[in-house]
Structure 1
Amino acid sequence: MSTWKMKGEYLKNCNCLATCPCDTEGFPSPHKYCEGIVGMHITEGNFGDVRLDGLYWAGIVHWPGALHEGNGRLQPLIDERANEEQRAAMLEILSGKNGGPLFEILAAVCPTVYPPQFVPFTWEFDKDGRHARLTAGKLLKASSEPLTVPATGEQQRVRVVMPDGFEYREMEVARSTELEASGEISFSYKNTHSSLAQVEHTQAGLAA
């Protein structure tokens, strides 16, 4: 197994209610199915001797029920700026074949994986401010903004801490104001869940 690390900014937007019941209770809501996107800006990373600093990746996902029930589908998206070695390295990590619980679990619950697409990315990320924006070619568009208190319109900060989490240990909850995907997996949502986190994934597990 190759030694690897991906440290950086992590975004997850999905069709669930804010705070993502899939993270807490294990079942999606208000829908009986789960779909959305995950994405990462690797600020520091490597796969063996291959450096991954500054690159992006994302995945568009769909499950017909709860994640642990499986039968999911995954569309990998890789930064077009990555060279051949970097592309191969990132796909090896995402495949789950080189450790890392998040990617091993994704591989187990997503038996259908579509051919990777190499596309241009745009990325804006402010974890503390709960603002984010991600585009990946013409296949993915997502944006996030802070939750607000309905009675006053003031910003509301909600932080979820998961000491034993395999995806992240702590995330800021935001509202996904725009969530659109096209291609093999397509959907369109507004005002759903968004997670913003700083993570460090390795072959041995989540380091931060």
Structure 2
Amino acid sequence: MTTEWKMQGEYLESCTCKGACPCVYLEAPTEGDCTAMVGWHIEKGHYGDVTLDDLNIAVALNSPGPMSEGNWKAVLYLDQRASEQQQEALGNVFGGKAGGHPELLASMIGEVLAVETQPIGFVVENGRRHLTIGDSHEANINAIEGQDGQDVTINNHPFAVAPGYSLVVAKSRSLRHQNHGLQMNLSERAALYSPFEYTGP
């Protein structure tokens, strides 16, 4: 029997591309490949009877070409605060075993380098998002200011982590990850964030 689940919250991504990331338009990354950190904060969620409220999850990945073409190498980080049941639920959803949009995202992964349990922080502030994984990995991003101080947004993009939502265009203050061969220590690179809502199966 398939488990019914639902979650909603905030997501961010920060990567090595310069300027606006072309991956959301199905184009090649600006550096030839794209190394990125993606994080989700689940404001409200459940997997069957297992509550997932206020948990975080993150992925570090490398895409050898356009992200939509797959063959990613990825490290999955599960929230250390989660119980064993919650970690299993998060692993099922974001590992692509439970259906919904995460199944499509997981199908892009060619090699899982590791699955780790770490302290994961996700700060949501006006115009800023900050993902931390353990003591040494982070994506700290600020929204780009548009006309009249409004957000710069991307709508109806063909490659979406959070379908149905407009992306806020941001820039990294810091993008750091040094683990399992995925190396980043950059700033002033492409970043995006938006709400998300996933349902399965």
Normalising by structure 2, we get a TM-score of 0.89
What residue identity is the alignment partner of 1:2? Answer: T
The 3-state SS of whatever aligns with 1:201 is strand
Q: Which runs of 5+ in 2 are unaligned?
A: none
Instruction: Give the Cα separation in 2 of the matches to 1:18 and 1:89.
Output: 36
Larger mean Cα displacement after TM superposition, 62-71 or 167-176: 62-71
RMSD: 2.1
147, 151, 155: which one aligns with 1:157:
151
Partner residue of 2:41? 41
Structure-to-structure mapping, 1:6-17, within 5 angstroms = 6-17=7-18
TM-fit CA distance, 1:162: 2.0
SS in 1 for 2:107: helix
Report the TM-score when normalising by structure 1.
Answer: 0.86
Distance 2:157 2:68 in 1: 20
Among 141, 161, 175, the alignment partner of 1:167 is 161
What's 1:66 paired with? Answer: 66
SS in 2 for 1:182: strand
Answer yes or no: is the 8 Å Cα contact 1:147–1:155 preserved in 2: no
> What's the CA shift string for 1:110-155, capped at 9, x where partnerless?
12113311111222113xx321111110352111113258xxxx96
Q: Hey, which bits of structure 1, 4+ residues long, moved more than 6 A? A: none
Contact 1:161–1:170, Cα closer than 8 Å, also in 2: yes
Number of residue pairs the alignment of both structures matches: 196
**Alpha-carbon distance change, 22 to 166 in structure 1, aligned in 2, over 3 angstroms:** closer
1:176 lines up with 2:167 in the alignment? no
Give how far 1:97 is off.
1.5
Identity %: 29
Residues 37 and 16 of structure 1, relative CA distance in 2, 3 Å threshold:
same
Aligned with 2:135: secondary structure?
Answer: coil
For the 8 Å contact 2:16–2:190, the answer to whether it is kept is yes
Residue from 192, 197, 201 that aligns with 1:200:
197
Q: CA deviation at 1:96?
A: 0.7
- Tell me how far apart the structure 2 counterparts of residues 100 and 197 of structure 1 sit (CA, whole Å): 18
- CA deviation string 1:13-35 (max 9, x = no partner): 111234321112x1233211111
**Closer, same or farther: CA 147–164 of 1 in aligned 2, 3 Å:** closer
Aligned residue type for 1:188 = N
Do the aligned partners of 2:29 and 2:66 also contact (CA within 8 Å) in 1?
no
Letter in structure 2 aligned against 1:107: A
The answer to whether 1:122 aligns with 2:116 is no
1:187 paired residue number: 184
Alignment of 1:14-93 (within 5 A): 14-24=15-25, 26-93=26-93
